[in-house]
Chains A and B, each alone.
Chain A
């Protein structure tokens, strides 16, 4: 699916960095993932993060690994699929508690197209994502 990977590629020359925080497994051991267990140690978590990196075929996405105490995830509200768009000055431009590929792309395109630094570059068009599970990762 890797929709964040697509975003990272699309905006690679527009100073956009895509970061993904690997957090706890929300459905460990449940239907469809019987072999995935809750993390026992940081090394265990890191191993799963490396698997995710391979599964999603990440090339441009930075995959961060949260600490065992869920420090960052807790700070951000502990939701499994949030998304934040942060401006150059560190202010939140867009936030969703459940990320949607269409919305993320729409807001990013607007931010980048209105940026005077890219005035000489062609305007980026809004991508229509066709995956039904647009919210994955």
Chain B
């Protein structure tokens, strides 16, 4: 037998997750899109290191603990830099 409050449960179809019911709340969505924080982010984003600009130097450890610096490769290598995550 279906529980009485079945309609309150999150949809579990293929469009669950990111596009779940809470994102369909129009007022929330409009508030988010027009919020200052989101606007300022999209306004400034193209300005972050556009083509032709000097890329900043930084250093990070790899998974074995060796430190890699961007400046170590300058003048020697082309660098392809991207991000990764499991999900």
Query: CB within 8 Å of B: which residues of A?
Result: 4, 7-8, 11, 14-28, 30-33, 36, 46, 48-53, 55-56, 62-67, 71-73, 75-77, 79-95, 97, 99, 104, 108, 111-112, 137
Contacts and interface: CB of A to CB of B under 8 A. Distances in A.
B7 interface: no
Interface of B: 16-18, 45, 48-58, 60-63, 68, 70-71, 73-87
Nearest to A62: B62
A31 B16 contact: yes
Nearest to A84: B81
B51 to A, nearest CB: 5
A115 to B, nearest CB: 9
A84 to B, nearest CB: 5
Contacts of B45: 77, 97
B54 to A, nearest CB: 6
17 contacts: A15-B77, A16-B78, A17-B79, A20-B84, A25-B87, A27-B17, A30-B17, A31-B16, A52-B84, A56-B84, A64-B60, A64-B62, A66-B60, A75-B56, A80-B85, A92-B52, A108-B80
A43 to B, nearest CB: 12
Contacts of A46: 63
B52 A64 contact: no
Q: Which 4 A-B pairs have the closest CB atoms?
A: A27-B87, A86-B79, A64-B60, A31-B17
